[in-house]
Chains A and B, each alone.
Chain A
Amino acid sequence: MRLALREVWTAFRRAPGLGVLSVFTIAFSLFAFGLFGLVAYNTRIALERLEERVEIRAYVTEGTEAEAVAAAVGDIRAFPEVASVTYVSPDDALKKARTEMAEFQDVFEPEFLPASLEVRLRAGMRDPVQVKTVATRLGGYSFVDDVRYGEEWVQKFYTMRRAATVAGIVLGIAFALAAMIIIGSTIRTSVLARSREIGIMRLVGATDGFIRAPFLIDGLLKGFIGGGLAVGLMWMTRTALTVTVFKFEFFPPPVLLAAVLVGAVIGLLGSSLSVGRQLKRV
């Protein structure tokens, strides 16, 4: 093991440029992946917060019988998606408007604000499709004038999240492949540089596994360092974004650990795919 590490160090000193290049490519592959992941992750957090506030408001036609509304409220409560239904009278609406927009409080007169039903959905049933279904169903009541919900916002967030995920995966895979190719060619170079040593190792009876080990450890280490670097870059980017845009959440530790491990796997894969083929040539 100590011997293998020494060989790794010697190989690195022989071609430091290539070594650094492979580390950086791994770092960038994970960084690209992570950056879009970060956007997706934050959109999701934002969505969850937003979703908590998703409410459907059905405006009640003026002069509707109170019993008709009460009966409908009972019906609506029984919808599987629905968590709560609140009847907001014109007076309530006015009070709410006055507290929420204190500076305009004199502007509001009761006649301006119609009565409405405020419908909240259960957690996990707040995606655009379900919101729309419920909204349509509410629209079906004869006493309902108009139904409103944050349609566009919800849709936009979902689209953004999906785009970020897809872009992250595509770019991440492209970089990961590049990283593996670069690691592969690094290994070709170091196998050639060490062909004499490898030949002697074979003569004195070193096993294939023993000969391969330093190359695999080399790839694994580069992957680890690349992964760590990617986490660092992501953190820096997050900090910069938080200062200039708005507060970005950072990945939780298990995700960061996974990123480093994925780096290690990329490194190991790149080296193990190449080393067998290269060793046959010397």
Chain B
Amino acid sequence: MSSGQPIVKFTSVTKAWQRGSGGLQKVSFAAQKGEFLFLTGPSGAGKSTILKLCYMDELPTAGDVRVSGLSALGATRTEISKLRRTLGIVFQDFRLLEDRTAWANVAFALEVTGTHGRAIPARVQKVLERVGLGAKMQSLPNELSGGEQQRVAIARALVNDPFVLLADEPTGNLDDRASRAVFQLLRDINASGTAVMMATHDLDLVRSSGLRSIELNKGALVFDSSEAPLPEREH
């Protein structure tokens, strides 16, 4: 599973904000192809910042972030757009377009990346069925439960066949049952080969899953579970 190039590699990444404190200090880690990786730590620790650096919404102040071979150093805006087509991104607040059906929200991601129109319906249907929303494709977001809305967002993230899914507290707005179900969906997605990086506050979930986790505190990486039980090849 960890053979070959890492899909995400942080090398001594420092992020300083123009205003205010926080940010990251010399964070290094790598995520391998097909891996499931939790990001944990208290509020303000830098979890969201790490995910933003992964999809290059933010760029490092020092150090380098490499995602799928693209270095944040000197990446052009077009390269960043192209990179994002190969990533799936999911947020706590779903970020759906309220005036469009579940179907249209997912199709939107294909349309704006220039997918051929005729290929769209089949792909949208397939991915909505995969997340368990085959029966609610024509519903508007406000006609769906939080869990269902997050499934639409996940479907939208998956429709371009990403190699990694970046999820920022995807269960943060959901009750226990819905959280477990969404988490199970992410594990299924991971089992079929897509890597997942998920920021979360749910430490029980992290511990019981036995998956790799990285803990941050005040912008510094304080614990990487992959380094404790197994010896790491690279830093």
A residues at B contact (CB < 8 Å) = 2-3, 196-197, 199-208, 210
Contacts and interface: CB of A to CB of B under 8 A. Distances in A.
B95 A205 contact: no
B99 to A, nearest CB: 9
A195 B87 CA distance: 21
Given A200-B95, A200-B97, A205 B113 contact: yes
A205 B82 CA distance: 6
B95 A208 contact: no
Contacts of B108: 200-201, 204
B112 interface: yes
The 3 A-B pairs of least Cβ separation, nearest first, read: A205-B84, A205-B85, A206-B112
18 contacts: A196-B95, A199-B95, A200-B95, A201-B108, A203-B55, A204-B84, A204-B89, A204-B108, A204-B109, A204-B160, A205-B83, A205-B85, A205-B86, A205-B112, A205-B160, A206-B113, A207-B81, A210-B114
Nearest to B55: A203
B112 A201 contact: yes
A2 B89 CA distance: 26
Given A197-B97, A208-B81, A203 B89 contact: yes
B78 interface: yes
B91 to A, nearest CB: 9
Contacts of A196: 95, 97
Nearest to A203: B89
A206 B77 CA distance: 10
B129 interface: no
B111 interface: yes
Nearest to B156: A204
Given A205-B81, A205-B85, A206-B112, 10 more contacts: A197-B97, A203-B89, A204-B89, A204-B112, A204-B156, A205-B86, A205-B87, A205-B112, A206-B81, A210-B114
A204 B95 contact: no
A208 B77 contact: yes
A4 to B, nearest CB: 10
B78 A207 contact: yes
Nearest to B90: A203
B21 to A, nearest CB: 25
A267 to B, nearest CB: 24
Contacts of B84: 202-205
B85 A204 contact: yes
Q: Name, among B89, B97, B112, B114, the residue most crowded by chain A CB atoms within 10 Å (CB to CB).
A: B112
Contacts of A203: 55, 84, 89, 95
Most chain B CB inside 10 Å of its own CB: which residue of A196, A201, A207: A207
Nearest to B83: A205
A201 B85 CA distance: 10
A155 B84 CA distance: 69
Contacts of B87: 205
Interface string B3-26: 000000000000000000000000
Interface in B66-91: 77-78, 81-87, 89
Contacts of A202: 81, 84
